[in-house]
Chains A and B, each alone.
Chain A
Amino acid sequence: MRSKKVIALLLCAIMTAALFAGCSKKTDTQGNKPANDQDVIVTLGCWASSDAETKLLDDQIQAFQNAKPHITIKKQVITGDYLQGIQTKIASKTAPDIYYLDVSLAAKFINEKLVDPIDKYLDKADMEDFFPNLLEGYQKDGKTYGIPKDYNPLVLFYNKDMFDKAGIKPPTTWDELKEAAAKTTANGVIGLTLENDPQRFGAFILQNGGKINDGDKPAFNTPEAAEALDFYYSFAKNKTGATYKDMGVDWAGPALAQKKTAMIMAGGWVIPFMTQNAPDVKYGMVPLPKGKQYGNLLFTVAYVLNKDSKHKDQAMDVAKFLTGKDGLKLVADSGLAIPSRKSMANEYVSKFPDRKALIDATPGSTVANYGLNGSKILDVLGKAGEKIQLGKADSKTALKEAEDACK
């Protein structure tokens, strides 16, 4: 009788304790022994992506392990919404030592001092090899906070068969773009795919001499920007362009793959999609056409150093290796993304000559860092685009309203 009760009590206690078993803080035993820097574990935060990209990162990590076996890299894959995931990790002080950071968030993370300046770990001469307009996205007050791992500019993807049929060449100016869209719109095919996304039509604002932001402030309420939006949405008015939603697809890639459109504006991420889903579609890439000047956006991701990291030196060893020549050669060879080093860009072009446009599109482009209020600016500009596309407002009014909404 008594023993039964004891057992019941014990079980109760165990059940209660078990509830918290998962909550205990995992302390890596090696980390508590700073006597020698042997066998250190560096955590690397990344998002979940396609199998091919996961394999690429695993290969890079493997290459690092072979070179420096005393540092063990542990991947921390954040599934679901990355920004949400990394925020909860930062708040609970469990953020990884180094992690991916999209350039659009760089200003915020630097301003909140979540990431350390890394200049002292870097070799100045070696940093010359990186595209300067990529590094700019992670620099503030002369300090560098991240090493870009790869990037993508926007280029114009076009369907070669449709262009041959219309007897035209890929456009290089706004007028030629207009003509190309008009000539390829036929038999249910729409010339140009539009998106109500400032990360697309923003390039046109830049090409017209306009700006999206000036530091942390919005700077899009200008005649130049209004003119650019007028031009961009003139395709919708003339029925020579339509949004991908209007074509019944989820993003621009399938519109090109399903031969619903002759031209889309996108980055290199479309290439693996096309190879997998539409090997029969013949397409080419050219840099975006010029307006008053060349203008384009660059999307990049960098490794940043967590300010609370316990092994900053080792963590930077990892980051430097992954973005070093050996690490980025793997990226270049995989063809999944464009390496952020100029020297590796040549490597990339020699391996994939038909993708030269992606490299040619890089100089003169602006990195997609919209300052501290970036997410607000993108949000209101996107709505402005929707208003113009749906005919609810003209460009001037829409941009004025967008600027007011930023306040």
Chain B
Amino acid sequence: MKRLQSVSVNTLKTKPKKSNSMKGLARREKIDGWLFIAPFIILCLVFFVGPLLIAFMLSFKEYSFLDSNSMFQAKWVGIQNYISVFKNHTFQRALLNTTRYSLFVVPIQLVIALCLALLVNGSIKGKSFFRTVYYIPTQTSAVAVAVVFMFLFKKDGLFNKFISLFGLPTYNFLSEPAFALPVIMLMAIWSSVGLYMVIFLAGLQDVPDSLYEAANIDGASKWQSFRFITIPLIKPTIFLNVVVSLIGCFQVYDQAYVVSQGNGGPLDSTMTVVLFLTRTGFREFKMGEASATAFILFAIIFILTLIQRKFFGEETAM
């Protein structure tokens, strides 16, 4: 009894003390935690969130970098910037071009990437060699790729020499409005297919072999096991790839810049939304309209991603 009492007294005595130190520890850990992520958080705030907010503000102002006023003193113009961007014929053309570009590039590039992934996922000889080879174009800078493609497709370039062997007419692909954008599409597909292949490959390797074995025993054909096992199981990967590829496509800039020497020609056929944005901001000195363009592009990509999420089902949400 006496002993017990002393124990209980002891616990009574130590309990608040202990919880106090626990609280202190938790608080210290919290502070340490914040301190450890501080470098990233500050970087993110200064170089990402801050500019984002400022750009959003600018999209409602009339401002150019040449103004003697600072951007905070610039005149508010409401949604005037958005209206004039939508009314701009060059922007309409740019949006059309970018949409056409994405509609072609995304499906073709993903189908090719999936086929390549299936190929190098199988048990063919030298598969790591092929994996590397298909991935290399992804590592090449877009500008270098554009220069090589310009060399291939110019008037006396290799491609024209090749088709003239068959008696076909030669074109100056890069200054024909009908062909300039397709050349850029081809360039984009070729150069980024490897990236999506690698992501598909990772998805494919997560599919357990036992499922294929079971299907095989049940007499499923190769196509059936692809259609009913592979596709459903890599659905999250497909979703991810579609989203990433679509975002990349809507932001196409460097290839178009190099091919058209920065002006989106011939006849605006390679004018993309981002190219229009930089031209508006830096050549025509309308930073407000350029920022508005950026947020229109953001809204488009955001809505498209939401639609895809609906389409692929909630469970694939990243």
Contacts and interface: CB of A to CB of B under 8 A. Distances in A.
Interface string B260-272: 0001011110000
B263 A248 contact: no
Contact of A81 (B64, B267, B282): B282
Given A84-B282, A108-B66, A248 B43 contact: no
A226 to B, nearest CB: 19
B67 interface: yes
B213 interface: no
A52 interface: no
A325 interface: no
A248 B66 contact: no
A375 B283 contact: yes
A30 interface: no
A9 B35 contact: yes
B175 interface: yes
A88 B64 CA distance: 10
A12 B35 contact: yes
A112 B68 contact: yes
Interface string A247-281: 11000000000000000000000000000000000
B39 interface: yes
A251 to B, nearest CB: 9
Interface string B157-197: 10000000000000010111100000000000000000000
Contacts of A87: 65-66, 282, 285
A48 interface: no
A190 to B, nearest CB: 11
A390 B89 CA distance: 20
A390 B66 contact: no
Residue with the greatest number of chain B CB neighbours at <10 A, chosen from A245, A247, A390 = A245
Interface in B191-214: none
Contacts of A246: 155, 172, 175
Contacts of A113: 68
A387 B269 CA distance: 12
A109 B284 CA distance: 13
B282 A390 contact: no
Contacts of B64: 112
B42 A16 contact: yes
A15 B37 CA distance: 11
Nearest to A251: B261
Contacts of A15: 39
A282 B268 CA distance: 38
A383 B282 CA distance: 19
A243 interface: yes
A90 B154 contact: no
A405 interface: yes
B266 A390 contact: yes
Interface residues of A, number: 34
How many B residues touch the partner, as a band?
Answer: 20 to 34
B174 A109 contact: no
Residue with the greatest number of chain A CB neighbours at <10 A, chosen from B36, B66, B278, B285 = B66
A388 B96 CA distance: 23
Contacts of B176: 390
Nearest to B68: A113
Contact of B285 (A8, A108, A245): A108
A127 interface: no
Contacts of B278: 84
A91 B43 CA distance: 22
A194 to B, nearest CB: 12
B9 interface: no
Contacts of B71: 91
B306 interface: no
A194 B67 CA distance: 38
B242 to A, nearest CB: 33
A382 interface: yes
Given A83-B282, A109-B66, A390 B172 contact: no
A8 B29 CA distance: 13
B7 interface: no
Nearest to A85: B282
Given A16-B38, A83-B282, A90 B265 contact: no
Nearest to A113: B68
Nearest to B151: A248
A375 B284 contact: yes
B155 A392 contact: no
Nearest to A89: B65
Nearest to B172: A246
B66 A12 contact: no
25 contacts: A12-B38, A16-B38, A83-B282, A84-B282, A87-B282, A88-B65, A90-B65, A90-B66, A108-B66, A108-B285, A112-B64, A112-B67, A113-B68, A196-B265, A245-B172, A245-B174, A246-B175, A248-B156, A248-B157, A248-B172, A375-B284, A379-B263, A379-B283, A386-B266, A390-B177
Which A-B residue pairs are the 8 nearest by beta carbons?
Answer: A248-B155, A91-B65, A87-B65, A248-B156, A248-B154, A112-B66, A245-B175, A12-B35
